Structure 1
Amino acid sequence: MSRARVPGPLAGRDFRLLYTSTVVSGLGDWLDQVALLVLVTTVWHGGAGDLALVVAASMLPLLATPFLAVLVDRRPSRRVLVLTDLVQAGLTLGLVVAPGVYWAAGLVLVRSALGSVGGLAGQIQLRVSVPPDGVQAATVLLQTAMQSVKILGPALGGLLIAFMSPRAVFAANACTFLVGVITARALRSTSSPSPSADQHYFKELGEGFRHVFGSRLLRSLLFVMCSLMFVVFLYDSMAALIVPALGMGTPYIGYMVSAVGLGGVAGSLLMGRFAGRLRPFLTMAGSVLVIGCIIVVIGFTIVRDIRIDSAIWLCVIFLLGIASAGILVTFPSVVHSETPVELTGRVWALMNSVPAVLNVLAPMTAAALVAWIGLGSLLLLAGAALLLTAVAVAVRLGRVPPTAPPPTAAPSGADDGAGRAEEPAPGPAPLNSGAPHRETRAPCVRRAGSSTEEITMADKIDKLAEAGFSLTDANDAQQAVLKSLTEDEVNVLLSVKSRIEAAGSDVEGHSLSDPSGGYLW
């Protein structure tokens, strides 16, 4: 009897290991979070200041992530994963014997920094564990898993605290990091050090910044995510006040978290079915539009003191979780599609750390606004801001086509499915080969009067479309090659096409339904 085939990225051994490690680690993080709050408030009888200290210790390393990312890109991803998980396991065991909140905050600070580094290595490992056209599907699977853990983790953490001490839960979480060490050591593929690893540190650091701010899509995505995260954290940080304001008891705070998680799972599954055919920014705009409408309704209900059944609110929050998947899946898909693998760590760190700064400022801003205009008005203001953001994204970026396979190097020592290491074929795949095009560096050109900067995928698509090329008629391999062209190559292609068209009616420039290399005549 033949064995059932595992579909999608999970068919690959290395991605299954990475997926397992991510799920186990995510579950351990939720257990740890519950235990840490109980330890500070119940065992050490700490107040709001102690809680703020611990939370700040877990958030501050996010601001340093872009500066650590250079070191991550210089090392093989598998080695970074093993080292960070091993040290985090030791630091988590340190929480078992921590004598007070200051010791705990110090351990959390260092562990959070290492967790950020490990997270960057995990994103790089994702790129070398699946083929370029499987990155989006892998992202959907991971997002679905993390939303599922969001449902199970807090409930399991509360259950364990009821039967175990917080220190015992820390010991259990240390075991999850050891699972990460074991799975990372079992990986067959790993990233190669950045080709620019012999450069000066600040030059390498600048490459990541130049790539992000030199790409129209990444610049736009960064601005959109900063706006969204700030507005979302305005009301999300006030969740403990929103639930009773809607006439629900304190336990419904936990129910709301679970409802969002369930919605996130459902939304991620939907995105997995349709994401490859959806325009990324139009999808994001639709998600923000739905979320904005929900927040406006909640704010209006609080302002008007309207009472609605709790079960209805749970359904509404479930819908909010579905809508959020459009953002949570689109964001990493666009980042990966616009970033070569050797810059993944630096680009990913920058794209996440800048919004994190606003995440720290948003709760303080929200508290001041609640005292000034009231909770309901804050929600109305936040909802209106989300609606305006949705319209702006749809108008300015809605025409960006579905994300293409990202520019990436072939996995070093990648498993071919039969336990053998496969060497990458040098050079680009021909247009009619049917194989995905891969390259080791992002195509860059020197433009007159400016520094070296990437010609983005959107720029190429716009140029080709204006000249009459239809990328929708090409297969995936041909699209990948066209989107990897440098600006000089695009200009040569357009020049040749125009000269052929000028030859008259005997040879007309047009595209074919199955071009197979025949894009010029």
Structure 2
Amino acid sequence: MTFLLGAASALQLPAYQALVPEIVPRKSITDAAALSSVGVNLARAVGPALAGLVIARLGVPFVFAANALSFALFLIVLLAWRGYQRPDTRVEPFIDATRAGIRYILHAGVVRRVLVQLACVMVPANALWALLPLIAAGPLRLSSSGYGLLLAAVGLGSVGGAFLMPAIRTRLGIGGTVAVASVIFGATSIALVLVPSLPVALAVLIVGGVAWIGVVTTLNGTVQSFLPAWVRSRGLAVYQLVLFGSTAVGSALAGAASSLFGVLPVMVAAGALTAVSAVLLAARPFPSLTGRDRAPMPSTDVPPVTEHDPALQGDVLVLVRWQVAAGHVRAFLTSMDALGHSRRRTGAREWTLHRDRDHPDTWAEVFRVGSWQEHIDQQTVRRTGDDAGIFSAVREHASDDPDIEYLITPDRTETPHV
């Protein structure tokens, strides 16, 4: 049953978060993610206390029944949502859709950068949550109610931080907010074990809650606002995988290390590593998202691809020939590197660039997509304004519009013509 609950959450959470950009403007997505976190933290703070009261009076089955009813009410709200319009994307086979989502993330620099930063912060930072019960029972000498008080302090800081974050992000930007919050959370972990005092612990955990919500909501909101509609749920699923995977790995490492070296040195080391993760932002800052056009922009720069022949089910090999004068080759190659990532983000399973040996001004990019229908999707629903800008940058360095050929893998079940 626990496994089924976890599996259901893995399906529900990305879809739930993918709805946010359908409700709020793109510029408000990060703030909306923060408000969603307020609800989560309030539920964590109030839920166990309410559950305890209900169990005492009505028993455990009633609590689970009430929880199921809450999901039923949420389902009714979704079914009654008349303003929702499903994104204009086709239903894809599971394996193909999964591969397309992974390819997108591998070739989307912004998403990759966010996921790396998320893992670098979350693995050491989760030592605090894993070892907080030991800190409460050991240096702080608290009972279970005292441990609940510590959690309440974290929740209070998270709720307050959600309302502070918009002003902080406006002042520091995305990278600055994550860097400062990481340093503060790292200092929180260290101070908690170096000064074993309940008042100090409560104050430190409130500040730590602010920092925690600053990292999580800023990174989550950045991914939500950047991902285009056709791949948003898949991208958020990978985000959740990195988030919860880092939580599991960080907690396991902290528990194992504390059994060998003790809680204090592990917490100090984890806090230092969390703070040091901010150095990664100085070495490799987040790409600027200012002026990025993430809206769909169907291609009008190449011969239209609008008809789908059901007989064309095999792979499609696309050959695009460019004429480039010698003086533009260096700039062309720089732009073409970005175009290669764009092709693979939107569906190309392979992409290569070649130069004609006998005609040095002729360059050919060759890429393969899984089907003719996927190529149609690549040219229409998957192509964003950013992708269109990359294509235009390549064409500026070419002498003329490219020549395009399409090669279709033959159906070997057909009877050959004699």
The TM-score with structure 2 as length reference comes to: 0.70
Distance of 2:42 and 2:107 partners within structure 1: 36
Partner of 2:401: none
Which of 234, 239, 242 is the aligned partner of 2:127?
Answer: 234
1:123 equivalent in alignment to 2:17 = yes
TM superposition shift of 1:367: 2.5
| Cα gap change, 1:147 to 1:448, in 2 (>3 Å) | closer
Partner of 2:4: 110
| Cα gap change, 1:449 to 1:121, in 2 (>3 Å) | closer
Quick one: which amino acid aligns to residue 294 of structure 2? P
Partner of 2:304: none
Distance of 1:182 and 1:341 partners within structure 2: 24
TM superposition shift of 1:169: 0.8
TM superposition shift of 1:404: 6.5
1:300 equivalent in alignment to 2:194 = yes
Distance of 2:25 and 2:396 partners within structure 1: 28
1:246 equivalent in alignment to 2:149 = no
1:452 equivalent in alignment to 2:343 = yes
TM superposition shift of 1:494: 9.2
Partner of 2:307: none
Partner of 2:43: 149
1:262 equivalent in alignment to 2:153 = no
Partner of 1:204: 97
1:488 equivalent in alignment to 2:381 = no
Unmatched 5+ residue regions in structure 1? 1-105, 302-306, 410-425, 429-443, 456-480, 496-521
Quick one: which amino acid aligns to residue 125 of structure 2? V
Partner of 1:363: 251
Which of 364, 368, 373 is the aligned partner of 2:261?
Answer: 373
Count of residue pairs the alignment pairs up: 326
Partner of 2:279: 391
Alignment of 1:421-500 (within 5 A): 452-454=343-345, 485-491=388-394
Distance of 2:270 and 2:80 partners within structure 1: 46
In percent, how many aligned pairs have the same letter? 22
Alignment of 1:27-426 (within 5 A): 106=1, 108-190=2-84, 192=86, 195-198=89-92, 200-250=93-143, 251-276=145-170, 278-301=172-195, 307-308=196-197, 310-397=198-285, 400-401=287-288, 407-408=294-295
Partner of 1:499: none
TM superposition shift of 1:379: 0.5
Quick one: which amino acid aligns to residue 138 of structure 2? A
Distance of 1:453 and 1:391 partners within structure 2: 30
3-state SS in 2 of match to 1:452: helix
TM superposition shift of 1:482: 7.5
TM superposition shift of 1:118: 1.9
Do the aligned residues in 1 keep the contact of 2:31 with 2:221 (CA within 8 Å)? Answer: no
3-state SS in 2 of match to 1:181: helix
Distance of 1:449 and 1:124 partners within structure 2: 27
From the two aligned structures, give the one with the greater strand fraction: 2
Distance of 2:113 and 2:95 partners within structure 1: 24
Quick one: which amino acid aligns to residue 407 of structure 1? R
| Cα gap change, 1:179 to 1:352, in 2 (>3 Å) | same
| Cα gap change, 1:320 to 1:340, in 2 (>3 Å) | same
| Cα gap change, 1:482 to 1:125, in 2 (>3 Å) | closer
Do the aligned residues in 2 keep the contact of 1:143 with 1:268 (CA within 8 Å)? Answer: yes
Quick one: which amino acid aligns to residue 299 of structure 1? V
Do the aligned residues in 1 keep the contact of 2:136 with 2:146 (CA within 8 Å)? Answer: yes
Distance of 2:202 and 2:19 partners within structure 1: 37
| Cα distance per residue 1:418-439 (max 9 Å; x no partner) | xxxxxxxx989xxxxxxxxxxx
| Cα distance per residue 1:388-431 (max 9 Å; x no partner) | 11122233216x4466687256xxxxxxxxxxxxxxxx989xxx
Unmatched 5+ residue regions in structure 2? 300-334, 347-383, 399-418
| Cα gap change, 1:286 to 1:207, in 2 (>3 Å) | same
Quick one: which amino acid aligns to residue 104 of structure 2? H
More moved, 202-211 vs 189-198: 189-198
Do the aligned residues in 2 keep the contact of 1:263 with 1:320 (CA within 8 Å)? Answer: yes
Distance of 2:292 and 2:340 partners within structure 1: 31
Do the aligned residues in 1 keep the contact of 2:105 with 2:112 (CA within 8 Å)? Answer: yes
TM superposition shift of 1:275: 3.1
| Cα distance per residue 1:67-97 (max 9 Å; x no partner) | xxxxxxxxxxxxxxxxxxxxxxxxxxxxxxx
Distance of 1:129 and 1:451 partners within structure 2: 27
TM superposition shift of 1:452: 2.3
Distance of 2:104 and 2:12 partners within structure 1: 22
| Cα distance per residue 1:345-393 (max 9 Å; x no partner) | 1111112113423433333322221121111000011011112111222
Do the aligned residues in 1 keep the contact of 2:295 with 2:385 (CA within 8 Å)? Answer: no
Relative contact order (alpha carbons < 8 A, sep ≥ 6): 1 or 2 greater? 2
TM superposition shift of 1:164: 2.4
| Cα gap change, 1:188 to 1:383, in 2 (>3 Å) | same
| Cα distance per residue 1:7-34 (max 9 Å; x no partner) | xxxxxxxxxxxxxxxxxxxxxxxxxxxx
Quick one: which amino acid aligns to residue 237 of structure 1? A
Partner of 2:350: none
Quick one: which amino acid aligns to residue 105 of structure 2? V
Do the aligned residues in 2 keep the contact of 1:259 with 1:314 (CA within 8 Å)? Answer: yes
Distance of 1:312 and 1:213 partners within structure 2: 44
| Cα distance per residue 1:205-247 (max 9 Å; x no partner) | 1111111121222112111212222212233112110112332
TM superposition shift of 1:138: 2.1
3-state SS in 2 of match to 1:118: helix
3-state SS in 1 of match to 2:83: coil
Quick one: which amino acid aligns to residue 121 of structure 1? A
Distance of 2:123 and 2:6 partners within structure 1: 21
Distance of 1:494 and 1:281 partners within structure 2: 33
| Cα gap change, 1:377 to 1:340, in 2 (>3 Å) | same
